[in-house]
Homo-oligomer: A and B are copies of this chain.
């Protein structure tokens, strides 16, 4: 065997398929593997060589998306001081991962029972939200879980609007953060 590690070619093909899957499934999870193969400029045969079953591709995309969100998460942590600032930076960093966000959160029920679907990220985020409430930067009357849902929802619609062209990409992060904090009211 050639020692191991997949060749560069294989890595590139694998990435192309994952990107295509995120792009297609973000908008229509019922899309067929043939659609994804087409988007990836790859034959269905090749797709099946990399991911023998549909579920294998779903799992791989799940893991890959979470990994990329994790990077964004850590990057945001590294440059933040206060809890609210961390929340804001996470929202900002994550907006660039529109396809992954849409895939992960547009219908989380599709992952129930999936061993790779953990709510650890949620726990960390909930802690941050509670900290922000103690700091007086986030309304303590709002349930932390609900605040998190609002956050995800805003990230989701922001990503969606960027994908739809309604919202310029460079304004996405700032817009999401500002509405999260201050709603749609005019700046004073």
Q: Which A residues fall within an 8 A CB radius of B? A: 27-30, 106-107, 109-110, 136-140, 142-143, 145-147, 149-150, 152-154, 156-157, 160-161, 166-167, 175, 178-187
Query: What are 27 of the A-B contact pairs (CB < 8 Å)?
Result: A27-B107, A28-B29, A28-B110, A29-B30, A30-B30, A137-B185, A138-B184, A139-B186, A139-B187, A142-B184, A143-B161, A143-B166, A143-B167, A146-B157, A146-B166, A146-B175, A149-B160, A149-B161, A150-B157, A150-B184, A153-B156, A179-B183, A180-B184, A181-B183, A181-B184, A182-B183, A182-B185
- For the complex formed, measure the closest distance between the CB of A142 and the CB atoms of chain B, giving whole angstroms: 6
Residue of B nearest to A29 (CB): B30
Using A110-B28, A183-B179, A184-B180 as known contacts, say yes or no to A154 and B161 having CB atoms under 8 A apart: no
Contact B157 A153 (CB under 8 A): yes
Residue of A27, A147, A152, A157 most packed against chain B (CB within 10 A): A157
Contacts of A147 in B (CB 8 A): 184
Measured CB to CB, the nearest residue on chain B to A143 is B166
Give Cα A95–Cα B146 distance, bound, in whole angstroms: 15
Contact check, A154 vs B150: say whether CB atoms are below 8 A apart: yes
Instruction: Write the nearest CB–CB distance from A138 to chain B, whole angstroms.
Output: 5
Option from B161, B178, B186 in Cβ contact (under 8 Å) with A140 = B186
CA distance A172 to B147 in the complex (A): 13
| CA A153 to CA B102, docked complex, whole Å | 12
Q: Quick one: given A153-B156, A166-B145, are A186 and B28 in contact (CB under 8 Å)?
A: no
